[in-house]
Amino acid sequence: MKTDVLIIGGGPAGLNAAIETASRGIKTIIIEESYALGGQLKQQTQFFNNLPKQFDRQRGIHLMRTLIDRLSPLPVTCLLKHKMIGVYKDGRIGIANDTETFPIDAKKVIVTTGAAEETDLFPGWTLPGVMTVGAAQILINRERVLPGKNALIVGLNSFSAEVTKQLKACGINILGVIDKNVSVNDKKLVDGLEDKKIRVMVNTVIERATGAGEVEKVTINNDGKKEDLDIDLICIGKGLSPILEPLEILDCEFGFQAKLGGLVPKYYSTLGTSNPSVYVAGNAAGITCLGGILVTAEIAALNALKALGVLNDNEAKISSSFLWDELRSMESEESIETFIARVAHIKEFHEECELPLPASFHAILEGC
Amino acid sequence: MYIDHHPILENHGNDQISFFYDGTPLKARQGQTIAAALMMNNIRKFGISRKLRQSRGLFCANGRCCSCFVTVNGLEHVLSCTTLIEEGMEIKPNTGDPDVRGGIHEN
């Protein structure tokens, strides 16, 4: 199989990148390990306001529909239930499903693998009934199954707070949301939960979870004061980290950026990595908001198109500077620290490679 | 338990399918994953870890953590969170290391 662009991962970033490349008539293949496109949008019932200008305010699941509808008339092949499993010596990408393995010869690869949820470690964390907040959200919104009746939520952040409210709206009794530290920035989240009569406990950790075959009880420790709760569900919301395996297999170099979620691939202002045929976008390029996921996908696709000779320098320059402004605005709305870390990450890699940053990028640097 | 009336989303169709868990006939909804079909029937323990022999069930629901393995129609170590339930499927809990696959996979 041959293609101009191969996209690894059919979530919001992969879909939006494919829309950009395929709408220019460029042959594009998306491989997606799940049985359906959409990634984590499949179960996001909350509204997203802070999106690129071509998208109205809408629920995540509707945005997934919007993206798939825009993609469907375009020359894109979507290989569902296919995984990238390696790289052949000649550079072709090894793809497998349940029955066969085959190579794809791609001129450019855009890695949009997204992110995985972090866990929290305490005795009993592997018991059935202990799961990530993302898993609980999948169960209620995608599978329509209640994961439990009485829940404790560990970790306070905007995602865990949102899912907590969704679980409560489905009738689950929330015994509390606990976290070790809560910063001043989280005040709004705490107020939002308390408005819904959900108890928030700071300086609180799980001492242990117990149960016969599945979780039945949890002991929490609030500043030395211990309390036992009868629960059948513990949801862990400890944030996200980028999914990097395909980038490792593709010999990309990595750097550490705490504000981008830890280890992230090094990349230029083009979102091209140290492997000249590989670009990265979405949460795989650093944990960001949905708007940031969509815009980085456009930036990576644009630069892949430029490298393929589809766009001329001037076209690429104008679009690129527009997109970077949009990215700054999206990420500033949620957390300016993400944008600052991203720009620092890019600057470091350009310096390491002694490659000057494009003139248009200097204004961005000054803005940080 | 199945959510009949979701606070935001429209109701799904009522297409029910039948499957077996450890020989017991159970019902699921069309389009659900195996993990969800089991949890809807209040089965949350899917198996036992190989080394520490501890209970395991759904954890990440995204095919990454490998906590939710089950045996499907004789094939061991199938991720129940990313495999859709099908009519007549025979699901068994994951109780240990697989035998070398027999049948068509022999040799």
Question: Does residue B56 belong to the interface with chain A, where contact is any CB pair within 8 Å?
Answer: yes
| Closest in A59, A139, A141 to B39, CB measured | A139
**Tokens for B24?**
């017991």
- In the block, tokens 């009868």 appear at A230
* Distance, CA of A364 to CA of B19 (rounded, Å): 57
- CB–CB contacts below 8 A, A to B: 100
Contact B60 A131 (CB under 8 A): yes
CATH 3.50.50.60 domain residues, chain A: 2-116+240-367, 119-236
Domain A119-236: CATH superfamily, name plus number: FAD/NAD(P)-binding domain (3.50.50.60)
**Tokens for B10?**
């429209």
Question: Does residue B60 belong to the interface with chain A, where contact is any CB pair within 8 Å?
Answer: yes
| Closest in B46, B56, B63 to A33, CB measured | B63
Cβ atoms of B97 and B50 closer than 8 Å:
yes
Question: Does residue B46 belong to the interface with chain A, where contact is any CB pair within 8 Å?
Answer: yes
pLDDT band at A163 (very low <50, low <70, confident <90, very high): very high
Question: Does residue B50 belong to the interface with chain A, where contact is any CB pair within 8 Å?
Answer: no
A146: nearest Cα among B70, B87, B46, B6? B6
For residue A5, count other CB atoms closer than 10 A to its CB. 28
Q: Where do the domains of chain B lie?
A: 16-94
For residue A351, count other CB atoms closer than 10 A to its CB. 11
pLDDT in tens, chain B (107 residues): 999 999 999 987 778 999 999 999 999 999 999 999 999 999 999 999 988 899 999 999 999 999 999 999 999 999 999 999 999 999 999 987 776 655 555 54
Residue A308 phi/psi, 5° resolution? -85, -5
For residue B14, count other CB atoms closer than 10 A to its CB. 8
Domain B16-94 class, CATH top level: alpha beta
- In the block, tokens 């049985």 appear at A35
pLDDT of residue B107: 44
Contact B8 A134 (CB under 8 A): no
* Distance, CA of B50 to CA of A47 (rounded, Å): 42
Relative to beta strand A93-96, strand A47-48 is unpaired
ipTM above 0.90, yes or no: yes
Question: Does residue B1 belong to the interface with chain A, where contact is any CB pair within 8 Å?
Answer: yes
Which of the four CATH numbers 3.30.310.50, 3.40.50.1100, 3.40.30.10, 3.50.50.60 does domain A2-116+240-367 have?
3.50.50.60
